[in-house]
A and B are shown apart, each in its own frame.
Chain A
């Protein structure tokens, strides 16, 4: 079975602060994909990134960066210099083997001016 744990329920920061959202996953499969999605107040889930289990290279996209560590089964997401528009619920998700996408419970990020 697959499981995704996002231990942080809610994080509040002030604009321009850096913030890291944690994600820990569990799977017995050796081939799997990890995802991050953003859900703004409008409700639509927006894809941010996908990584496969064979590619541990960290990735940076503008103010976003992702740290994938198989040794600790973690796929953490950092926003640098946060902005008010980053306020949303962020979901980490796992797809292993032939299973469907399993989501964590999400972390609500509140960025205040």
Chain B
């Protein structure tokens, strides 16, 4: 398996609380992505990074922020969680010309 891990794997949180999900890689890949997956919508890009401190918005970025202070870590933060952010979150990594490798996912429930 590619060296990519997500933490936590499962989390239940209350509406209005901040939540941070972590993606950690040991592959030194340039690109890192955060996706959410919901029934009927497939995988939708939240934010992505193309280098340390270089990030950009995806198609569903509202309510989310990210940070990449070092190559191996890409953090996704929900500043104030809402029930609509209940989802499965996947992190992915890749380099130019290579396939993307995915973490095992984080199941987040906002109650």
Partners in one complex: no
Which residues of B does A touch, CB under 8 Å? none
Which residues of A does B touch, CB under 8 Å? none
